[in-house]
Amino acid sequence: MAGDEHVIAVDTLTSFIGSIFRHAGVESEEAARIARYLVSANLTGHDSHGVIRTPRYVQQFKDGLVLGGQTISIVAESPTHAVVEGHYGFGQTIAPQAVDLGIAKARKGGLAAIALRHAGHIGRIGDWAERAAEAGLISIHFVNVEKGELVAPYGGVDRRFSTNPVCIGIPTTGSRPMLLLDMATSLVAEGKVLVASNGGKPVPGDALVAPDGSVSGDPTVLYGPLTPGGPRNAGGGEGALRAFGEHKGSGLAFMCEILAGVLTGGGTSGPIPGGKRGQIGNGMLAIYIDPASFAAKDFVAEAHEYAAYVHASRPQHAGERVLVPGEKEAMTRAHRLAHGVPLQAQTWAALCATATSVGAPIP
């Protein structure tokens, strides 16, 4: 323990989380996969999409809102595209299947678009861009959360979007760092409010908007009154998250709803009459590009040369460095692999409570 943080080695944490899912009734290979991807989010510093999600995932599994052992099915396809049904399987199982289909099609056609609908929560989108990049492909991802509205549009107060991430990954070779933009279109991801509500890093004072239109950094605006370590219900508060970048970020969030919600057939974040209460699904329109099929002579080398040039911009503030997308995550991963993953005391307590509830041993 360090202060109110619990630092836990990566392998111990991964097997603990896998064991929780196994004891909850998830088949062992899938349980291990869910654990690996949740811990991967923690490793990159995105604690909001890491193991903190375990209690919520276990509850959704118990409630039949997310299903184990699912396989994607293809609703429509051509050599360069597919519409894919995720059957509300765990996102950590469904997303890699959809990505692999995109990789296979892009390798043949140079370009492919995969419209995934009804996946369980697919977590950190960077994991899926990294999977494509490892196969040598560029990928562009637009994501929404069906029935998951949390974010007010620019100039509005009522929730109309989910946190709608956009992600772009660029392949790499050898020891060169991955170039990866992976960002929610809300000013902060909902999970960051979740982390703040558990005593973690506070969110900026303008991340949320209260029903009276005033801006706020108080998690109760989203969740309503908080019980320590208790579950957080984003339907409990009267306010909303704010989109990043004023009208421009709000516009990008809007287009994620259209591409990942409407085009995939998964639905927008808005409440849908008759929908199964609490069942939320991720939609993702992903475009895979094989750079070998395009004109750039040596795409990976030129992209990294340009990244080095951006990097070399003189810092605005003495002692700080200019970073390119993905660099912060790579540094955090290296540090946490060596030193362990820090978890807030309340997050650790919630994991232990979930473990106890399913009969999993606590390390």
**CA dihedral of residues 162, 250, 196, 55 (deg, nearest 10):** 10
Q: Is 123 in the site for ligand NAD (CB under 6 A)?
A: yes
Residue closer to ligand NAD by CB (options 167, 170) is 167
Is 354 a binding residue for ligand NAD by CB under 6 A? The answer is: no
Residues 53 and 45: their CA atoms lie apart, in Å, by: 14
Pinpoint the alpha helices (H) of the chain: 10-24, 28-43, 54-62, 91-109, 126-134, 190-197, 220-223, 246-256, 299-311, 327-339, 345-358
Per CB under 6 A, does 125 bind ligand NAD? yes
Site for ligand NAD in 131-170 (CB under 6 A): 143, 145, 163, 165, 167
Nearer to ligand NAD, 30 or 360 (CB): 30
Q: Amino acid identity of 39?
A: V
Task: Report residue 127 as tokens.
Answer: 């994991």
Among 179, 329, 344, 350, binds ligand NAD (CB under 6 A): 329
Residue 40 in contact with ligand NAD, rule: CB under 6 A:
no
Helix or strand (DSSP H, E) at 289: strand 281-289
Residue type, 283: G
| Nearer to ligand NAD (CB atom), residue 24 or residue 179 | 179
The β-bridge relationship of strands 151-152 and 166-170 is unpaired
**What are 98's two structure tokens?**
């959809």
CA–CA dist 315, 323 (Å, integer): 10
Q: C-alpha dihedral over 340, 344, 346, 348, to 10 degrees?
A: 0
Contact pick of 118, 124, 147, 304 for ligand NAD (by CB under 6 A)? 124
Query: Of 67, 140, 226, 323, which lies in the binding site for ligand NAD, with binding defined by CB under 6 A?
Result: 323
Angle between helices 54-62 and 345-358 (to 10 degrees): 30
CB of residue 180 to ligand NAD, shortest distance in Å: 6
Name the residue nearer to ligand NAD (CB basis): 181 or 263: 181
* 292 secondary structure, DSSP code: G
Residue 79 C-beta: closest distance to ligand NAD, Å: 28
| Binding residue for ligand NAD, selected from 9, 104, 181, 210, defined by CB under 6 A | 181
Q: Decide: is 267 part of the binding site for ligand NAD (CB under 6 A).
A: no
Task: Build a one-symbol-per-residue string for 43-62: x at contacts with ligand NAD by CB under 6 A, - elsewhere.
Answer: ---x-xx-------------
Write down the least CB distance from residue 37 to ligand NAD, Å.
11
Shortest distance in whole angstroms from residue 119 CB to ligand NAD? 9
Q: Which is nearer to ligand NAD, 17 or 170 (CB)?
A: 170
Q: According to CB under 6 A, which residues from 67 to 106 bind ligand NAD?
A: none
- What one-character-per-residue DSSP string does 194-224 give? HHHHTTSSPPPTTSEE-TTS-EE--THHHH-
In this complex, which beta carbon is closest to ligand NAD, that of residue 240 or of residue 355? 240
Q: Please give the residues from 201 up to 240 whose contact with ligand NAD meets the rule CB under 6 A.
A: none
| Shortest spacing between CB 335 and ligand NAD, in angstroms | 15
Cβ proximity to ligand NAD: between 19 and 44 the closer is 44
CB of 107 to ligand NAD, least distance (A): 25
Q: What is the CA radius of gyration of the chain?
A: 20
- The DSSP secondary structure of 16-64, one letter per residue, reads HHHHHHHHHT--HHHHHHHHHHHHHHHHTT-GGGTGGGHHHHHHHHHTT
Closer residue to ligand NAD (CB): 229 or 283 = 283
Binding-site ranges for ligand NAD (CB under 6 A): 46, 48-49, 121-126, 143, 145, 163, 165, 167, 180-184, 188-189, 192, 282, 323, 325-326, 328-329
